[in-house]
């Protein structure tokens, strides 16, 4: 018997999230949950959905990888001339969401966006595998191309250019930091009575509150 989409459901029973269990600071709480996700999730626990908006107010959503976080915010890297790069530069606000299936957890983060320093972008760029560094020079990200052969030809040219020297970071490639103003932690619970703790930044201090599921 084929199961319809309407009948697809899972009862979440793994864990709970009470105020007594949660940190006062959302970055500390994220660090705890992220460490647990690294131990449990089989594939890329740093994968996240990034939402941006264009000049017409149209939201755009895609998956990419978190590359660092601390008390300043959450860092990721991209081509500044890509669709998301241009949207973030023009409208520097965004939202990211993490979904950790095996832990039955979700984290939503909203806030302003800023470019990271050139030094920070350089440091991460030079830590990447050579193929990824060359790829940053090769791909005109988000632009229409006529076929796969365009990328292969461009890559061959980039490889020839940097055959005898390490490629520098492209000026159009670097990092963004999402500076959080809201962080919500969602823990699945039975009967859809999930735990939701939201942290909101007010006057430089974090206020924590519980939301109904």
| Residue 10 annotated as lining a ligand binding site | yes
- How far is residue 76 from each of residues 7, 49, 144, 181, measured CA to CA in Å? 37, 11, 24, 17
Measured between alpha carbons, how far is 13 from 189 in angstroms, rounded to an integer?
6
Query: Is 189 annotated as a binding-site member?
Result: no
Phi, psi of 12 (to 5 degrees): -85, 120
177 labeled part of a ligand binding site:
no
Q: Does residue 192 carry a catalytic annotation?
A: yes
Determine whether the annotation assigns residue 64 to a binding site.
yes
Write the DSSP symbol of residue 5: G
* 121 labeled binding residue: no
66 is in an annotated binding site: yes
Token representation of residue 4: 């319809």
Q: Is 108 annotated as a binding residue?
A: no
Phi/psi for 26 (5° steps) reads -70, -25
* Gap between the Cα atoms of 128 and 199, Å rounded: 34
d(CA 16, CA 190): 10
| Residue 124 marked ligand-binding | yes
Is 176 in contact with 116 (CB distance < 8 Å)?
yes
- Is 142 part of any known ligand binding site? yes
- Check 192, 198, 208, 210 and give the catalytic one: 192
- Is 43 annotated for ligand binding? no
Binding residues for substrate: 9-12, 67, 124, 128, 132, 192-194
Active-site amino acid positions: 192
Binding residues: 9-12, 62-67, 77-78, 84, 106, 124, 128, 132, 141-142, 186, 192-194, 196
Binding residues for FMN: 62-67, 77-78, 84, 106, 141-142, 186, 196
């Amino acid at each position: 018997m084929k199961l319809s989409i309407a009948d697809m459901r899972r009862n979440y029973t793994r864990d709970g999230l009470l105020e007594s269990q949660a940190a006062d600071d959302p970055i500390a709480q994220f660090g705890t949950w992220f460490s647990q996700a690294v131990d449990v999730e089989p594939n890329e626990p740093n994968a996240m959905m990034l939402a941006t908006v264009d000049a017409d107010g149209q939201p755009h959503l895609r998956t990419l990888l978190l590359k660092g976080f601390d008390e300043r915010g959450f860092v990721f890297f991209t081509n500044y001339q890509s669709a998301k790069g241009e949207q973030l530069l023009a409208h520097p606000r965004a939202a990211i969401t993490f979904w950790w299936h095996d832990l039955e957890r979700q984290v939503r983060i909203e806030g302003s966006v800023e470019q990271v320093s050139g030094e920070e972008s350089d440091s991460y760029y030079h830590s990447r595998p050579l193929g990824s560094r060359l790829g940053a020079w090769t791909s005109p990200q988000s632009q229409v191309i006529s076929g796969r052969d365009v990328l292969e030809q461009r890559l061959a040219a980039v490889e020839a250019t940097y055959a005898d020297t390490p490629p520098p970071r492209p000026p159009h490639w670097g990092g963004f930091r999402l500076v959080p103003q809201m962080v919500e932690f969602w823990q699945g619970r039975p009967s859809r009575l999930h735990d939701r703790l939201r942290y909101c930044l007010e006057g430089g201090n974090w206020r924590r509150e519980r939301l109904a599921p």
